[in-house]
Amino acid sequence: MSGKPKLHYVNGRGRMESIRWLLAAAGVEFEEQFIETKEDLEKLLSDGLLLFQQVPMVEIDGMKMVQTRAILSYIAAKYNLYGKDLKERALIDMYVEGTTDLMGIIMYLPFQPPEAKEKNLALITDKATTRYFPVYEKVLKDQGQDYLVGNHFTWADVHLLEAILMVEEYKSDILSKFPLLQAFKGRISNIPTIKKFLQPGSQRKPPPDEKYIAQVKQIFNI
Amino acid sequence: MAGKPKLYYFNGRGRMESIRWLLAAAGIEVGSSVLKKTNDGALLFQQVPMVEIDGMKMVQTRAILGYIAAKHNLYGKDLKERALIDMYVEGTRDLIDLIRVHHKFSPEEQEKNLALINERATARYFPVYEKVLKDHGTEFLVGNQLTWADVQLIEAILMVEEKVSTVLSKFPLLQDFKTRICNIPTIKKFLQPGSQRKPPPDESYVVTANRVFNRK
């Protein structure tokens, strides 16, 4: 018997945030158990709950799922956010791998030395505006529709919105040369489940701060 | 109309090797194109691997592997099997990635990396798959037939063995698994000389990769 999915992670974005986004977009309520100390992590490990000794871990439908992509794919497929056939799935997979790479750069930023901050900011801006956003702008242009794939809302759209908002936190005018992405952002943000997730009080996590970074370093021995 | 899939990469393992493995396991013949430079407009995110398949120019290794697995019945029979396969291939992917970059390191870093590869293989990944085979009691990791998970695991095992030849010494079920999977006709063929399988990186590979990817 399955209850709500239960997310095991630290109380911050990291690799779990995309999972929170996708569950929220699908309108799925979920619980969270936060790892706050090294001992919390050690308990998960000694209880044998982490297949490869790593988090994220999501208890869902009787499974203890690990590996971010595996979890995301399962949720997408289960809640009809993975397209209607193999070809749509292929497009969705390509697009989310792109946004994963972009968000990956941002995820590691807080753990880089302060001297590298300016360089990294330039890297994010460069990659966003020359490698990734032009692709999605073109997809929207060529498709001529509201969504990236197949004229329906999919995981690819959720992931792209997450990436856009994340980059905007670093450079608020990052979409200035991408009118279709601006419209896309407005549209997707207004989808009721997403709108709800974007409001205060939701399970969306704030950007990392000093306290969070220190906690993560301590728990994971970084 | 579908012709042979065409693989765009340089002439080495890198990120394309898992794709070569999976296509070979599925019994699919490929054509290949050796890439001269990566600033070709045909590359969605200006990156390789790129595979021309079924009218698409697919990029992103995982996307390509997922498509091939699903198309050729190597992705399990339902969502739950798929979930298991995804978890297992993500695990072996992490292990393969440690080895994939090994040749880029300095000799001192390589020594450290070798220890890490050995530790991860014997303490994190192989125990999991040994246990899966034990609990499952069948020939394959998931369900009752060959899946992407088995193919990627055999790839990982052979790659680690190239670095640490005794790595399976404490994993009897994985030893049996290795023998069994290597004897599957399509895989046996891929393991023979003259196949599309690429050798481990050597000096000329590093030079070529650096040139193709515009690295200093």
Which position has the token pair 């590996």?
A67
| A70 and A90 housed in the same domain | no
CB contact under 8 A, A69 and B62: yes
Is a pLDDT exceeding 90 seen at residue B125?
yes
Note whether A72 and A58 are within 8 A (CB). Answer: no
Q: Where are the alpha helices (DSSP H) in chain B?
A: 17-25, 61-71, 79-100, 107-119, 126-136, 148-163, 172-182, 185-190, 203-212
- Label residues B33-64 b or e (16+ Cβ within 10 Å = b): eebeeeeeeebbbebbbbbbbeebebbbbbbb
Would A55 be classed as within a structural domain? Answer: yes
| A99 and A176 housed in the same domain | yes
Each residue's pLDDT expressed in tens, for chain A with a length of 222 residues: 458 999 999 999 999 999 999 999 999 999 999 999 999 999 999 999 999 999 999 999 999 999 999 999 999 999 999 999 999 999 999 999 999 999 999 998 888 888 988 899 999 999 999 999 999 999 999 999 899 999 999 999 999 999 999 999 999 999 999 999 999 999 999 999 999 999 999 999 999 999 999 999 999 998
Q: What whole-number distance in Å separates Cα of residue B97 and Cα of residue B91? A: 10
Taking residues B105-116, report their average pLDDT: 94
Chain A neighbors of B19, CB-CB under 8 A: none
pLDDT digit string (tens) for B153-202?
999 999 999 999 999 999 999 999 999 999 999 999 999 999 999 999 88
pTM above 0.80, yes or no: yes
For B189, the token pair is 């063929």
CB contact under 8 A, B124 and A53: yes
Q: Which domains are assigned to chain B?
A: 6-72+191-213 (3.40.30.10), 79-183 (1.20.1050.10)
Q: Where are the beta strands (DSSP E) in A57-169?
A: 57-60, 63-66
- Total domains in chain A come to 2
CB contact under 8 A, B60 and A65: no
Report the CATH number at residue A45: 3.40.30.10
| A67 and A161 housed in the same domain | no
Q: Which domain holds residue A69?
A: 6-79+198-210
| A118 and A185 housed in the same domain | yes
How many angstroms separate the CA of residue B51 from the nearest CA in chain A? 12
**Is 0.90 exceeded by the ipTM?**
yes
> What would you measure as the largest C-alpha separation in chain A, in angstroms?
52
> Picking from A67-71, B9-13, B148-152, which range would have the lowest pLDDT averaged per residue?
B9-13
Taking residues B11-24, report their average pLDDT: 96
CB contact under 8 A, B66 and A87: no
For B185, the token pair is 């006709």
Q: What whole-number distance in Å separates Cα of residue A219 and Cα of residue A215? A: 6
> What's the first-to-final CA gap in chain A, in angstroms?
38
Report the CATH number at residue A96: 1.20.1050.10
| A126 and A147 housed in the same domain | yes
Task: Count the Cβ atoms, other than its own, within 10 Å of residue B154.
Answer: 24
Dihedral through CA B87, CA B93, CA B98, CA B104, nearest 10? -160
For residue B90, give the chain A residue with the closest CA. A67
Chain A neighbors of B57, CB-CB under 8 A: none
- Best probe of the B interface among A2, A67, A137, A154, by most B CBs < 10 A, is A67
| A95 and A165 housed in the same domain | yes
Q: Which of A69, A86, A98 sits opposite B90 (nearest CB)?
A: A69
